[in-house]
């Protein structure tokens, strides 16, 4: 999701009217939402209810130039429908309306009082029940679409993944760390070329909503494509590891281990776990020196992540337990060495 202005908001609010959710004689309430870099997102409230309206941006709001195909909003809609229809508990918002001319859509609103998982994690809260639920949703998504020809055809276009992930994360990081460029290129290769199932592409705590009634929703899947599942689990696990370093929290490191182990126990692609570890190490560095660095790390913490991930990437580490051990020991998490 992305920042916007009131000027951006009102044209998007009209989509709710076009969808038949607001009478012509009623003026809706409109609130610009924030939280990301790739879309304008607004909350529209009428007497009939409340909805989220999203519009994809052609250029992402980051320091470096970062262009992306706006049709990714429709890949998101297709992925949300699949998640909602095929995974137990309907863990995604309903897609109400799409405006293909303006690259926008209207989505079901999670409700006041919802929060994203990132808020909990940064405040020091690691609920292992939530962690396991998140891991199981991801494992089910990958399992239900594993070697599924219909899904493969529907999500065959991986241009968004290349534009929004491989280039800004791995290619940019490889340019900034030429001594480990071959290792990073190897990771980029198997992520791009080995295709097994539907991949969310942005499976991050900021895109996991915790609803007031206890449900968990997955959102913001505009990078959805048929590809390598290790990207999703590595992408999400990385966030818990980085927060464990930032907060000096063994609980977050335990959460990362729980997320990882729960996921791999529920997926048919266990032979890919070694690739997942290599992807995780690469993403640790990419979230410091790629085009979209995490915002909460201090300079000391960034240097620490660089030193840890650089060694892991250089030696092509493939064991998750060894990766966790190195993070714990070198970061001195919980007062360790």
Say which CATH number the domain at 52 has: 3.30.200.20
The answer to whether residue 131 sits within a structural domain is yes
CB 241 within 8 A of CB 288: no
Q: Are residues 223 and 121 in the same domain?
A: yes
Q: Is 299 helix (H, G, I), strand (E, B) or coil?
A: helix
Binned at pLDDT 50, 70 and 90, residue 35 comes out as: very low
Query: What pLDDT, in 10s, does the model give residues 279-317?
Result: 999 999 999 999 889 999 999 999 999 999 999 999 999
How high is the pLDDT of residue 103?
81
Give the mean pLDDT of 146-170.
Answer: 94
- Characterize 48-76 residue by residue with b for buried, 16 or more Cβ atoms within 10 angstroms of its Cβ, and e for exposed: eebbbbbbbbeebeeeeebebbbebbbbb
This prediction's pTM: 0.90
Do 285 and 163 belong to one domain?
yes
For every residue of 240-297, DSSP letters joined together read HHHHHHHHT-HHHHHHHHHHHHHHHHT-S-GGGHHHHHHHHHHHHHHHHHSSS--SS-
What is the C-alpha separation between 174 and 184, in angstroms, rounded? 6
Same-domain check for residues 90 and 233: no
Identify the pLDDT of residue 49.
Answer: 86
Q: Are residues 47 and 188 in the same domain?
A: no
In degrees rounded to 5, what are phi and psi of residue 225? -165, 165
In the chain, % of residues over pLDDT 90: 69
Q: Which of 61, 77, 108 is the last residue of a domain?
A: 108
Residue 203 has pLDDT above 80, yes or no: yes
Same domain, 183 and 295: yes
71 vs 10: which has the higher pLDDT = 71
273 closest CA partner among 326, 205, 322: 322
Q: What is the pLDDT of residue 29?
A: 79
The verdict on 150 and 292 lying in the same domain is yes
Q: What is the largest CA-CA distance in the chain?
A: 66
Q: Which residues constitute the domain of residue 35?
A: 6-108
Give the closest residue to 205 by CA, choosing from 230, 228, 235, 231.
235
Cα-based distances in Å from 185 to 2, 188, 189, 227, 306:
30, 5, 6, 17, 18
Domain count, the chain: 2
Residue 337 domain-assigned (yes or no): no
CATH for 222 = 3.90.1200.10
Radius of gyration of the chain (CA): 20
Mean pLDDT of the chain: 89
Separation of CA 279 from chain center: 14
Which H or E run includes 142?
Answer: helix 128-145
Are both 91 and 171 inside the same structural domain? Answer: no
97 and 122 part of one domain: no
**d(Cα 10, Cα 249) in Å, to the nearest integer?**
43
Same domain membership, residue 145 and residue 287: yes
Q: Which residues pair with 55 in a beta bridge?
A: 40, 104
C-alpha to C-alpha distance for 81 and 138, rounded to whole angstroms: 15
Would 145 be classed as within a structural domain? yes
Is 314 in contact with 183 (CB distance < 8 Å)?
yes
Q: Is residue 336 part of a domain?
A: no
């Amino acid at each position: 999701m992305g920042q916007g202005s009131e000027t951006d908001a009102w044209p998007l609010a009209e989509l709710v009217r076009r969808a038949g959710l607001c009478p012509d004689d009623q003026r809706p309430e409109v609130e610009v939402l924030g939280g990301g870099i790739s879309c304008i997102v607004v909350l529209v409230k009428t007497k009939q209810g409340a909805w989220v309206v999203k519009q994809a941006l052609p250029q992402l709001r980051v320091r470096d130039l970062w262009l992306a195909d706006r049709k990714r909003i429709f890949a998101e809609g297709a992925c949300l429908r699949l998640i909602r229809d095929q995974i137990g508990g309907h863990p995604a918002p309903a897609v109400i309306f799409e405006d293909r001319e303006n690259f926008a859509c209207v989505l079901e609103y999670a409700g006041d009082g919802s929060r994203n998982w990132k808020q909990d994690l940064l405040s020091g809260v690691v609920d292992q029940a939530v962690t396991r639920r998140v891991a199981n949703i991801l494992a089910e998504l990958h399992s239900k679409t594993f070697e599924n020809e219909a899904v493969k055809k529907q999500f065959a276009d991986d241009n968004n993944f290349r534009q929004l992930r491989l280039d800004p994360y791995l290619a940019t990081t490889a340019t900034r760390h030429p001594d480990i460029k071959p290792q990073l290129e190897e990771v980029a290769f198997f992520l791009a070329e080995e295709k097994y199932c539907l991949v969310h592409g942005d499976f991050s705590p900021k895109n996991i909503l915790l609803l007031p009634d206890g449900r968990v929703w997955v959102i913001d899947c505009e990078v959805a494509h048929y590809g390598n599942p290790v990207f999703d689990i590595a992408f999400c696990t990385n966030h818990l590891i980085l927060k464990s370093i930032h907060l000096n929290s063994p609980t977050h490191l335990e959460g990362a281990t729980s997320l990882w182990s729960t996921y791999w126990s529920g997926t048919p692609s266990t032979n890919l776990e070694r690739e997942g570890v290599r992807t995780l190490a690469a993403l640790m560095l990419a979230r410091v020196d790629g085009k979209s660095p995490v915002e909460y790390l201090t300079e000391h913490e960034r240097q620490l992540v660089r030193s840890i991930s650089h060694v892991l990437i250089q030696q092509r580490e493939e064991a998750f337990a060894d990766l966790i051990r190195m993070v714990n020991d070198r970061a001195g998490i919980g007062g360790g060495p």
